[in-house]
């Protein structure tokens, strides 16, 4: 039980980090019809700027300034580059973001080097946020804030501390979800954004500055990616291949969730985060399933290397399997509105 | 160049060729093919510095009187990239190649070098393996052109299990390894040797994860804790070990870790004060070897602000120098013949390049992570901690039989 809970928490915190990343990506896509290939690069930039700024002024200023800086950069990119090629259609737009991803990667390697930088979370985020205690003198599962005392963890009791960095990651992501939702549904700007999603010409005719709205959305989207970068970079590792690894998973998230749907992206990131984490814990293989179902040909099933592959070994490819299945069964994704 | 200068140069060249030690003063180029980018880049760049440092040291003083030059080539930890790097090195006329990070890469290099040497007599290349420890390279896939200066997985596991069998508190072991030849071999030999020496020990779980891909080991730690394991055996290295240990500290896992590579870049920092007395390393060296090695390590630390741990670099230069003096040549064919069976005095006692399979026979040390003190002062990555030797294994203990049928050209 305690194992299940801690795995679930690990999965949800990873899922929420994925959401911070994919929220911006899916917003940008629904607005401009552009799949921003450089999105994960803004995540990486956020992590590196966060590292540099936190060395100068501390973690909290870095957490605010790095996303702002990256957001401005993103807005500038939209205004001076993306808008120019917009007239030529979607393919050039796609290509320019693709090129940007390479430029950012090379610049990061030039400025910060090819190996990982030591971006550690601040002292107040080191150590556990709370500890789950199961078994032992207290038969029921319960929890305490911070680290559990030595005495509480003795004997048969199993203590599982939950790192503060992950709790913080969850907290920031939840605050972000709520404020993003409030912004889009309850403010004037949000209404204009929603209208511009589907009827940009009409909104333009009504006197709103649609290009500026686009720029704003691009800036906010990349800023959110950078926020995820500062948190993700300090919790995990900050190094030049971080964009490539996380980038492919965010594409899976927005396709599974439904291109352009924020709620879908939220659901899909939680789903992928938990499935990927939980799968690591499950040692079942196809041959076990074969045996359990009592299917014929058990001897060959037990020896084939394919059949012996366990779910935990397959965990890293599960998101991509999801992607393929989703595109086959329901191409518009979990909550997407447009077909195909 | 004027006529007289040319004459002097020609006479000089004549003089060099005519002297008794034909190789004296020659420059021996060694291509170093290992990762300088990606998650394993910190390990690679530390080792490149190590090779350059000792190239300089051994150029000043070696029995053959040759100069060593190391050419660093980034292989991104990919076998395909490594073959390109090998090609580039051979095009520059390099005849000695060294590599060590990833047996996946080493396997590809052995194949390529075997083929090259067969097809290009007179242009043979010798492969000096500094850290790739898959036992296959000195058994089923053994090659005359491959020389391994690290101890292979089966040797290290033999020593490690001899130590573990005397610890009664070990009852349940979890095997967590990287999913490629090296990690699979560690798991295989752990089950085999510990099953032989302590049949009462249970293996409560086994996992293989992708090499240099995992950023978050928390799910694995949760699984290890749920399995009830009191010890983990892992062949992980670089970021895969550092992040694993970091997740173990955060996730409150209090069991022992039996590792191959605690001393490698990144892991000391991840360990910090945590892990005291419960993280072990089996290797052919440790931080507190003292003597000449101790001086070199301090000098390396002052020069690069980094820790030297790839002791096999020293073995490689020592062997090359000795063999070139013996062969009176830098020709790889003659040098390989001279290294075949060569014995040397090294920092870990007498070592021997076994004729049967080109596996260096050497002393191994079991060491444990604890506070640095007067007796064991070396303090890696400014952690205030160090690896203290707890048991020494003479070469005969860890020596394992080989099935190699070497074809000597």
Tell whether B203 and B338 lie within a shared domain. no
Using the Cβ of A15 and the Cβ atoms of chain B, whether some distance falls under 8 Å is answered with no
Q: Which of A90-94, B344-348, B381-385 has the highest mean pLDDT?
A: B344-348
Q: What is the mean pLDDT of residues B361-387?
A: 93
Do B232 and B198 lie in one domain? The reply is: yes
Q: Looking at the predicted structure, is the pLDDT value of residue A267 above 50?
A: yes
Residue A198 scores a pLDDT above 80: no
- Residues of chain B neighbouring A157 (CB-CB closer than 8 A): none
A120-129 pLDDT, tens digit per residue, is 888 888 888 8
pLDDT of residue B216 exceeding 90, the answer is no
Nearest residue of A to residue B254 by CA position? A159
Mutate to test the interface with B, among A5, A21, A115, A154 (most CBs of B within 10 A): A115
Nearest CA of chain B to the CA of A318: how many Å? Answer: 13
* Sequence ranges of the domains in chain A: 2-121+165-240
Chain B positions touching A153 (Cβ under 8 A) are 252
Contact A281 B208 (CB under 8 A): no
pLDDT for B15 equals 46
Bridge partners (DSSP) listed for residue A162:
A130
SS3 at position A225: helix
Coil, strand or helix at B372: coil
Query: Tell me, what's the ipTM?
Result: 0.82
Are the beta carbons of B252 and A118 separated by less than 8 Å?
A: no
Residue in A158, A166, A312 closest to B207 by CB: A312
pLDDT of residue B387 exceeding 90, the answer is yes
Give the helix/strand (H/E) hosting A228.
helix A210-235
Query: Smallest Cβ distance to A239: which of B39, B209, B210?
Result: B39
Tokens standing for residue A283:
């040692």
Chain A partners within 8 Å of B219 (Cβ): 7, 10-11, 277-278, 280-281
Is B222–A6 a contact, with Cβ atoms under 8 angstroms apart? Answer: yes
Does residue B250 belong to the interface with chain A, where contact is any CB pair within 8 Å?
Answer: yes
Rounded to the nearest 10 degrees, the angle between the axes of helix B218-227 and helix B239-250 is 60
Q: Are residues B340 and B197 part of one domain? A: no
Number of folded domains that form chain B? 2
Residue range A303-325: mean pLDDT, rounded: 81
Q: Which residues of B touch A109 (CB under 8 A)?
A: 37
Candidates B35, B222, B264, partner chain A, best to mutate (most A CBs within 10 A): B222
Q: How far is B251 from chain A (nearest CA, A)?
A: 5
B319 and B272 within one domain: no
Q: How far apart are CA A132 and CA A148, in angstroms?
A: 8
Helix (H, G, I), strand (E, B) or coil at B189: helix
Could you give the CA distance from residue A335 to residue A323 in angstroms, rounded to a whole number? Answer: 14
The span from the CA of A159 to the CA of B158, in Å, is 34
pLDDT at B102 over 50: yes
CA distance B223 to chain A (A): 6
On the question of pLDDT at A225 being above 80, the answer is yes
Q: Same domain for B202 and B257?
A: yes
Average pLDDT rounded to a whole number, residues A135-144 = 62
Distance CA A7, CA A13 (A): 10
Same domain, B160 and B236: yes
Residue pair B5/B201 in contact by the 8 Å Cβ criterion: no
- Output the average pLDDT for chain A: 85
Percent of chain A's residues with pLDDT above 90: 34
Is B161 in the same domain as B234? yes
B185 in the same domain as B248:
yes
Q: A161 and B38 in contact by Cβ < 8 A?
A: no
Contact A24, A221 (CB under 8 A): yes
Residue B116 tokens read as 């090259």
Mean predicted confidence (pLDDT) in A193-221: 87
From A153-157, B97-101, B218-222, B242-246, the region with the lowest mean pLDDT: A153-157
Of the residues A17, A114, A274, A309, the best mutation for testing chain B's interface (the one with the most B CB atoms within 10 Å of its CB) is A114
Stretch B49-64: mean pLDDT, rounded?
94
B274 in contact with A at a CB cutoff of 8 Å? Answer: no
**Beta-sheet pairing, B27-34 with B96-99:** parallel
- pLDDT the model gives residue B383: 87
How far apart CA B367 and CA A248 sit, in angstroms, is 41
Which H or E run includes A80? none
Is B14 inside any structural domain? no
Please state, in angstroms and rounded to a whole number, the distance separating the CA atoms of residues B314 and B71: 17
The CATH number given to whatever domain includes residue B326 is 3.40.50.2300
Residues A161, B252: C-beta atoms closer than 8 Å: yes
The pLDDT-based confidence of B284 (bands split at 50, 70, 90) is very high
Q: What distances in angstroms separate CA B155 from CA B158, B260, B399, one per listed residue?
A: 5, 11, 6
Quote the CA–CA distance of A186 and A176 in Å, as a whole number.
Answer: 15
Q: Is A239 on the interface with B (CB under 8 A)?
A: yes
Least confident of A20-24, A33-37, A143-147: A143-147
Domain boundaries, position B139: 23-152+291-361
Task: Indicate if the pLDDT at residue A164 is higher than 50.
Answer: yes
pLDDT band at A276 (very low <50, low <70, confident <90, very high): confident
> Please, are residues A276 and A14 in contact by the beta-carbon 8 Å criterion?
yes
Task: Identify the three-state secondary structure at position A208.
Answer: coil
Please tell me the predicted confidence (pLDDT) of residue A244: 85
Q: What is the pLDDT of residue B19?
A: 44
> Do B226 and B375 reside in the same domain of the chain?
yes
Residue B23 makes CB contacts below 8 A (sequence gap 6+) with: B64, B65, B66, B324, B325, B327, B328, B329, B330
Residue range A223-229: average pLDDT?
Answer: 94
Strand partners, B73: B33
Q: Which of B223, B239, B269 sits opposite A280 (nearest CB)?
A: B223
Neighbouring C-alpha atoms within 13 Å toward the C-beta of B115: 8
Query: Given this model, what pLDDT does residue A340 score?
Result: 37
For residue B91, is pLDDT > 90? yes
Are A236 and B215 within 8 A, CB to CB?
A: yes
Residues of A within 8 A of B207 (CB-CB) are 280, 312-313
User: Which structure tokens are listed for B81?
Assistant: 């990239």
The answer on pLDDT for B20 being more than 60 is no
Task: Record the pTM.
Answer: 0.84
Under 8 Å between Cβ of B279 and B259 = yes
Residue of A nearest to B246 (CA): A236
- Specify the pLDDT at position A149: 67
Percent of chain B with pLDDT over 90: 73
CA gyration radius, chain B: 22
Mean pLDDT of B243-258: 89
What is the rounded distance in angstroms from the CA atom of residue A17 to the CA atom of residue A176?
11
- Looking at the DSSP bridge assignments, the partners of residue B128 are B98, B147
Report, in this order, helix, strand and coil percent for chain A, each rounded to 5.
Answer: 70, 5, 20
| Chain A residues near residue B225 by CB distance under 8 angstroms | 3, 158, 160
Query: SS3 for B99?
Result: strand
Scored b (16 or more CB within 10 A) or e, B212-239 reads: bebbbbbbbbbbbbbbebbbbbbbbbbb
Q: Do B33 and B117 sit in the same domain of this protein?
A: yes
Residues of A within 8 A of B250 (CB-CB) are 128, 161, 163
Q: Is B36 on the interface with A (CB under 8 A)?
A: yes
| Summary mean pLDDT of chain B | 90
Q: Which residues of B46-82 are buried (b: 16+ CB within 10 A; e: fewer)?
A: bbbbbbbbbbebbbeebebebbbebbbbbbbbbbebb
Q: In this structure, is the dihedral angle defined by the CA atoms of residues A112, A116, A118 and A119, taken in order, positive or negative?
A: positive
**B333 and B228 co-located in one domain:** no
The predicted-structure confidence for B297-311, as pLDDT tens digits, reads as follows 999 999 998 999 999
Are B174 and B220 spatial neighbours (Cβ–Cβ below 8 Å)? no
The winner for highest mean pLDDT among A160-169, A258-267, B47-56 is B47-56
Q: Are B365 and B289 in contact (CB under 8 A)?
A: no
Q: Does residue B6 sit within a domain?
A: no
pLDDT band at residue B89 under the 50/70/90 scheme: very high
From the list A160, A166, A237, the residue facing B225 with the nearest CB is A160
Q: Beta partners for B385?
A: B371
Cross-chain CB nearest to A3 (options B39, B207, B222): B222
Give the C-alpha separation, B87 to B84, whole Å: 5
Contact between chains at A3 and B226 (C-beta distance less than 8 A): yes
Min Cα–Cα distance to chain A from B64, Å: 37
Beta pairing class for B27-34 and A158-163? unpaired
- Selecting from A153, A312, A316 the residue whose C-beta is nearest the C-beta of B213 gives A316
- Considering only CB atoms, A281 lies closest to which of B38, B42, B223, namely B223
Regarding whether B346 and B228 lie in a shared domain, the answer is no
All residues of chain A having their beta carbon less than 8 Å from the beta carbon of residue B226 are: 3, 281
Q: How confident is the model at residue B125 (pLDDT cuts 50, 70, 90)?
A: very high
Q: Given pLDDT bands bounded at 50, 70 and 90, which one contains residue A70? A: very high
CA A212 to centroid of chain Cα atoms = 26
Contact map slice: B 276-315 vs A, CB within 8 A: none
Query: Kind of pairing, strands B256-259 and B279-283?
Result: parallel
**What is the reported pLDDT for B17?**
45
Smallest Cα distance from A128 to chain B, Å: 7
Helix axes A318-329, A242-257, angle to 10 degrees: 30
Predicted confidence band of residue B242 (pLDDT cuts 50, 70, 90):
confident
What is the arithmetic mean of pLDDT over A197-218? 86
In a domain, B301, yes or no: yes
How far apart CA A23 and CA A170 sit, in angstroms, is 15
């Amino acid at each position: 039980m305690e194992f299940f809970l801690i795995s679930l928490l690990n999965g949800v915190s990873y899922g929420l980090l994925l959401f911070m990343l994919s929220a911006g990506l899916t917003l940008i896509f629904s607005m401009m019809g552009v799949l921003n290939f450089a999105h994960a690069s803004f995540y990486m930039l956020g992590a590196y700027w966060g590292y540099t700024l936190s060395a100068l002024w501390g973690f909290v200023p870095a957490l605010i300034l790095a996303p702002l800086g990256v957001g401005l950069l993103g807005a500038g990119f939209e205004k001076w580059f993306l808008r120019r090629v917009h007239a030529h259609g979607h393919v050039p737009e796609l290509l320019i973001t693709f090129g940007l991803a390479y430029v950012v990667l090379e610049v990061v390697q030039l400025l910060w080097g090819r190996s990982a930088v030591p971006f550690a979370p601040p002292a107040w985020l080191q150590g556990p946020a709370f500890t789950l205690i199961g078994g032992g003198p207290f038969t029921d599962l319960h929890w305490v804030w911070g680290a559990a005392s030595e005495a509480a963890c003795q004997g048969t009791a199993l203590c599982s501390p939950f790192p503060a960095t992950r709790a913080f990651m969850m907290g920031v992501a939840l605050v972000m979800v709520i404020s993003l939702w409030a912004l889009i549904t309850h403010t004037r700007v949000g209404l204009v954004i929603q209208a511009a999603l589907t009827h940009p010409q009409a909104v333009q005719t009504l006197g709103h500055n649609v290009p500026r709205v686009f720029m704003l959305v691009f800036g906010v989207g990349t800023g959110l990616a950078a926020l995820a970068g500062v948190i993700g970079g300090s919790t995990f590792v900050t190094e030049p291949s971080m964009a490539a690894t996380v980038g492919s998973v965010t594409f899976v998230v927005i396709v599974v969730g439904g291109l352009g749907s924020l709620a879908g992206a939220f659901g899909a990131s939680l789903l992928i985060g938990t499935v990927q984490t939980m799968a690591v814990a499950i040692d079942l293989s196809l041959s076990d399933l074969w045996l359990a179902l009592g299917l014929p040909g058990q001897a060959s099933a037990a020896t084939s290397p394919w059949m012996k592959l366990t779910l935990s070994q397959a965990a890293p490819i599960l998101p991509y399997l999801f992607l393929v299945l989703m595109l086959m069964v329901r191409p518009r994704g979990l909550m997407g509105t447009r077909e195909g | 160049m004027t006529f007289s200068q040319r004459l002097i140069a020609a006479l000089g060249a004549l003089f060099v060729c005519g002297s008794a030690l034909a190789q004296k003063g020659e420059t021996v180029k060694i291509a170093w093919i290992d990762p300088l980018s990606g998650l394993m880049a910190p390990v690679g760049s530390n080792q490149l510095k190590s090779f350059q440092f000792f190239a300089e040291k051994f150029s000043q003083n070696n029995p053959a009187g040759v100069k060593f030059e190391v050419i660093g080539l980034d292989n991104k930890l990919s076998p395909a990239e490594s073959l390109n790097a090998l090609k580039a090195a051979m095009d520059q006329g390099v005849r000695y190649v060294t590599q060590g990070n990833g047996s996946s890469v080493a396997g590809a290099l052995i194949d390529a070098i075997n083929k090259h040497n067969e097809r290009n007599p007179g242009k043979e290349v010798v492969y000096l393996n500094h850290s790739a420890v898959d036992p296959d390279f000195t058994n089923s896939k053994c090659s005359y052109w491959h020389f391994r200066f690290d101890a292979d997985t089966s040797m290290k596991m033999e020593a490690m299990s001899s130590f573990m069998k005397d610890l009664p508190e070990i009852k349940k072991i979890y095997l967590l390894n990287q999913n490629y030849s090296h990690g699979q071999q560690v798991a295989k030999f752990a089950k085999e040797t510990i099953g032989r020496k302590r049949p009462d020990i249970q293996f409560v779980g086994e996992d293989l994860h992708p090499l240099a891909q995992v950023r978050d080991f928390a799910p694995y730690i949760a699984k290890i804790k749920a399995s009830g394991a009191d010890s983990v055996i892992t062949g992980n290295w670089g970021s895969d070990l550092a992040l694993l240990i970091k997740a173990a500290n955060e996730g409150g896992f209090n069991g022992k870790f039996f590792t191959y590579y605690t001393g490698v870049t990144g892991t000391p920092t991840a360990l910090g004060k945590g892990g005291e007395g419960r993280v072990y390393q089996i290797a052919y060296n440790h931080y507190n070897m003292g003597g000449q090695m101790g001086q070199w390590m301090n000098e390396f630390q002052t020069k690069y602000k980094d820790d030297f741990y790839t002791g096999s670099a020293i073995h490689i230069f020592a062997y090359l120098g000795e063999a070139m003096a013996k062969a009176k040549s830098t020709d790889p064919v003659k040098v390989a013949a001279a290294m075949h069976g060569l014995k040397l005095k090294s920092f870990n006692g007498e070592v021997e390049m076994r004729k049967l399979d080109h596996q260096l026979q050497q002393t191994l040390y079991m060491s444990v992570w604890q506070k640095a003190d007067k007796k064991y002062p070396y303090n890696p990555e400014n952690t205030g901690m160090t690896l203290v030797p707890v048991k020494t294994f003479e070469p005969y203990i860890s020596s394992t039989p080989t099935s190699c049928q070497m074809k000597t050209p």
